[in-house]
Amino acid sequence: MTEKRSPLLERPVMRERFRTELRSRLMSEAAVVLAPRRSRFSFPMILRPALAAAAVLVLVVAGATNTAASSLPGDPLYAVKRAGEDAQVAVTFDEVARMQLLSQLADRRLAELAEIAKQRPASAPTATQEYADAVERFADALDRLRDADSEDQRTAAQDLADAAQAKHRAVLDAVKERLPAKDQPEIQRVIDNERERTSPTNPERSGQDGSGRNRPTSSPGKTPRR
């Protein structure tokens, strides 16, 4: 009886698709295993408290600035408000724009004075001095523009000063009536000073005519010829 020989088994062949998938899986697992582990005390983690503190500080400053905008003379945050305004003036280099800004700030000081007169008249002297200082700065800017070469600038500056003086006088008269009698003379002094400083014939500008131009003067020590 003849023995039947079993046929030889074929050599297994790895399918190309399985080979590709296996290679991809091994590569992805190797990337995870070989990836450097983040230190427990990494640099970004150290910075987190500082960044959080900075964010809180920004929020606090923004809130303080908003609160300061509505503050009045004598309030704790009023100095913050004034510092912001001074910085704005410092970076305004055009003389006309600076005078317009100082006019707006004088209006703001006057509005604060009117509010003080209604809410707490006892603080009126402080608010009155703030307004007087603002008028002085405005008048100084007006004097500089009166010396400008451009006649248009000189005329525009004086027109702005005249309009501001008329508006301020009406408010100051109303404020004076609200204040105690002892504080009213100071308001009147401020009214008179603003009228003198912003008038076209400002007596403080000695040696100059109403347009800001120098008046001709005789040389000292010489007698004019007849």
- State percent of the chain over pLDDT 70: 64
Contact 81, 68 (CB under 8 A): yes
The pLDDT of residue 45: 59
> Same domain for 162 and 187?
yes
> Same domain for 136 and 197?
yes
Residue 52, pLDDT above cutoff 70: no
Angle between helices 124-146 and 151-178 (to 10 degrees): 170
**CATH assignment at residue 147:** 1.20.120
Residues 6+ apart with CB under 8 A from 18: none
Distance CA 140, CA 137 (A): 5
Contact 107, 161 (CB under 8 A): no
- For the chain, how many structural domains are there in total? 2
Place of tokens 């000081």: 109
> Same domain for 76 and 165?
no
Question: Which segment of 17-21, 128-132, 192-196 scores lowest on mean pLDDT?
Answer: 17-21
Which two structure tokens, joined as six digits, stand for 164? 């501001």
Question: Which segment of 36-40, 121-125, 143-147 scores lowest on mean pLDDT?
Answer: 36-40
Could you tell me which residue, 211 or 105, shows the higher pLDDT? 105
> Same domain for 175 and 193?
yes
Residue 201: HSE in the Cβ half-sphere, 13 Å Cα cutoff: 0
| Nearest C-alpha neighbor of 161 from the set 88, 106, 90 | 106
Query: What is the band of 126 on the pLDDT scale with cuts at 50, 70, 90?
Result: very high
For the beta carbon of residue 225, count every other beta carbon within 10 angstroms. 4
The pLDDT of residue 42: 54
Residue 55, pLDDT above cutoff 80: no
The pLDDT of residue 134: 97
Backbone angles phi, psi at 208, to 5 degrees: -130, 150
Residue 159 in any domain: the answer is yes
Which two structure tokens, joined as six digits, stand for 217? 């003067």
For the beta carbon of residue 154, count every other beta carbon within 10 angstroms. 20
Find the domain containing 86 and state its range: 50-91
- Rounded to two decimals, the pTM is 0.64
Question: Which segment of 5-9, 80-84, 98-102, 115-119 scores lowest on mean pLDDT?
Answer: 5-9
The pLDDT of residue 27: 72
Distance CA 102, CA 19 (A): 81
> Same domain for 124 and 190?
yes
Residue 4 in any domain: the answer is no
Query: What is the band of 213 on the pLDDT scale with cuts at 50, 70, 90?
Result: very low
Residue 132, pLDDT above cutoff 70: yes
> Same domain for 138 and 169?
yes
